[in-house]
Amino acid sequence: MGSQDDFEYALKSNESWANYKSHQNPGLFEKLANGQSPKILWIGCSDSRVPETTILGLHPGDVFVHRNVANIISPTDINSQAVIEYAVVHLKVSHIVVCGHSACGGCGAALSDARVGGVIDAWITPLKALRKQNEEELKAIRDEKKRAVRLAEMNVKSGVESLLSTYFIEEAVRERGLKVHGCVYDVACGRMTDLKCGNAGKKGVAGVKEDETEIVKGNHGMLVFGGDGASMTIR
């Protein structure tokens, strides 16, 4: 199938999807046209295998999104910082989810000494730094795939720590209980693992109650956030 055929197929698929959604939830698009009030900010990788709304079982309007190569969070990247600030300060999301994944090309590149070329080498510099900081632990992992997943976990935790040190996020945590979560998605089975590296459920964190739960509902499932992390149930 050629590239033009791929695009034509995508357009037809979109038409079918829109018709299905309109039948399934007649008021959905009219509601979305009047504004958005997502509960979740998702910071993930640009990888085509990790479509956030799909893997969460939610629908348009539920998730505000920023994605980049290897879900790197840098305080000097005005693109990601603009998205994060808008989501937290203006949309007032209740949760931020930083999600890495298995088989991440960015992590694989950071573990190699070879150059990728172009701006990618500069972009993955933070991953290279994490690799060097944790060289001993990473070298002890003989399986290359598991080593890459471990680096992905380290990257997520680093991103979560960066977010929790950002002034407007600290303010939102303190004043309205914003929760930050770190997760890794397994491409091979479609499941997310909560790394429990954020502030959700931690005792002594301002604005966070250990037994507090919140439900984000989609048309096919419910994502439940609580003191023990996030879980998905089918409705």
Q: What positions carry a catalytic annotation?
A: 45, 47, 49, 101, 104
| 214-217 sheet: strands from edge to edge | 214-217, 221-226, 229-234
Token pair, residue 157, equals 């935790």
SS3 177: coil
Q: Which residues are annotated as a binding site?
A: 45, 47, 101, 104
- 101 within 8 A of 50, measured Cβ to Cβ: yes
**R_g over Cα of the chain:** 19
**Alpha-helical runs (H) found in the chain:** 3-24, 28-33, 52-55, 78-85, 105-110, 120-123, 125-133, 135-139, 144-164, 167-176
Identity of residue 46: S
Q: Which residues are annotated as a binding site for Zn(2+)?
A: 45, 47, 101, 104
